[in-house]
Structure 1
Amino acid sequence: MSLTHEDVARIARLARIEVSGAEIEAVSADLNRIFGLIEKMNAVDTDGIEPMAHPQDVSLRLRDDEVTAADRRDAFLAVAPQVEAGLYLVPKVIE
């Protein structure tokens, strides 16, 4: 797929990006190189290759799941305008 200068100008207008006439040439070349790379990548046969979550087979070090923050629930509820049974009361928005 190759983009013309008119295509690039239209895309720039739709994206609300101001691109001058001199810049259209460079942007068009860059976009066409990107599309060329995409076409090369699509041409590679990937049948039978399992998708990877990471390019390297690594595992992260995990930490113990421990509570480190202090329980400040009562302090937060104390400054709330209305509280009932440990819950914040808010005005009804939907009728």
Structure 2
Amino acid sequence: MSIDKDKIKHVSKLARISVDEKKIDDLTKDLSSIFKFIEQLNELNTDKVEPLSSILNEPLRSRKDEINDGKIRDKILENSPKKNEEFFVVPKVIE
């Protein structure tokens, strides 16, 4: 898969991420090398390799679920640029 400047700009626009024009060349090179590596991984023959769901043979111990409010609601809401009482305000994305 080839990555060019236009694709970088398109994806950054879709993801609503601002990308500095000066860094687009470096980002293009980095993403191209990542995709080349992924293509190499896709070429590996894994037919005789058993699927692995965990590296541990024993199941992990689960903790008991306890319901609480987290006691950090106000701290979390401080990170929001817009809020309405106890809720985040986000831009409308569906018409």
Alpha-carbon distance change, 61 to 10 in structure 1, aligned in 2, over 3 angstroms: closer
Q: How far is 1:29 from its partner?
A: 1.4
Aligned residues, how many? 64
Corresponding letter in the other structure for 1:58: N
Aligned to 2:17: 17
Q: How far is 1:27 from its partner?
A: 1.4
Structure 2, unaligned runs of 5 or more? 67-95
Alpha-carbon distance change, 61 to 30 in structure 1, aligned in 2, over 3 angstroms: closer
Corresponding letter in the other structure for 1:3: I
1 CA distance for matches of 2:60 and 2:11? 45
- Specify the structure having the higher radius of gyration (Cα): 1
Per-residue CA deviation, residues 35-92 of structure 1 (Å, 9 max, x unaligned), is 11110110000112211012x34324658xxx9x9xxxxxxxxxxxxxxxxxxxxxxx
2:32 pairs with 1:37: no
The alignment's C-alpha RMSD in Å is 2.3
2:54 pairs with 1:58: no
Amino-acid identity (%): 30
Corresponding letter in the other structure for 2:48: G
Corresponding letter in the other structure for 1:51: P
The structure 1 segments of at least 4 consecutive aligned residues displaced by more than 3 Å after TM superposition are 60-63
